[in-house]
A = this chain, B = another copy of it.
Amino acid sequence: MAVRTSEAEWRGNLREGAGREELLGAAHAGCYSMALSAGLSKAGHPPTRVHTVARVHLEKVGDGFGITRIELECEAEVPGIAAAAFQEQAEGAKKGCPVSKALAATEITLKAKLLG
């Protein structure tokens, strides 16, 4: 088992801050890229490059704020793979990456593009 520790310190009563959503998006984009790379490699198609953008949507929900959607947009260079096999791997990574699973309560959308 691995336990990763992170810390945050807050001073004063500042009420706003976008850094948290960017961190969440970076965690998701990184996790997704890694999961896709691992899946493709396991299937015999190690990618040359995987690039993922995560867009985290924060909206007013009732009294507070909520993350209503995360859009993943991925581009990958994967020598020799068929388009359908790539899309299958891309969907599998969306379902299977640990951060996606932790975020199961949140809508996640995916656009995956095979380059070249």
Binding site for B on A (CB under 8 A): 1-15, 17-34, 36-38, 40-41, 46-60, 64-67, 70, 96, 98-99, 101-106
Question: Oligomeric state, in number of copies?
Answer: 2
- Contact residues in B for A21 (Cβ distance below 8 Å): 2, 4, 27, 98
- Contact residues in B for A40 (Cβ distance below 8 Å): 13
- Do A25 and B49 contact each other (CB < 8 Å), given the known contacts A15-B34, A20-B31, A67-B102? no
Contact, CB under 8 Å: A33 / B49: no
Contact, CB under 8 Å: A20 / B7: no
Alpha-carbon distance between A31 and B65 when the two chains are bound, in angstroms: 11
Nearest chain B CB to A86 CB, angstrom units: 15
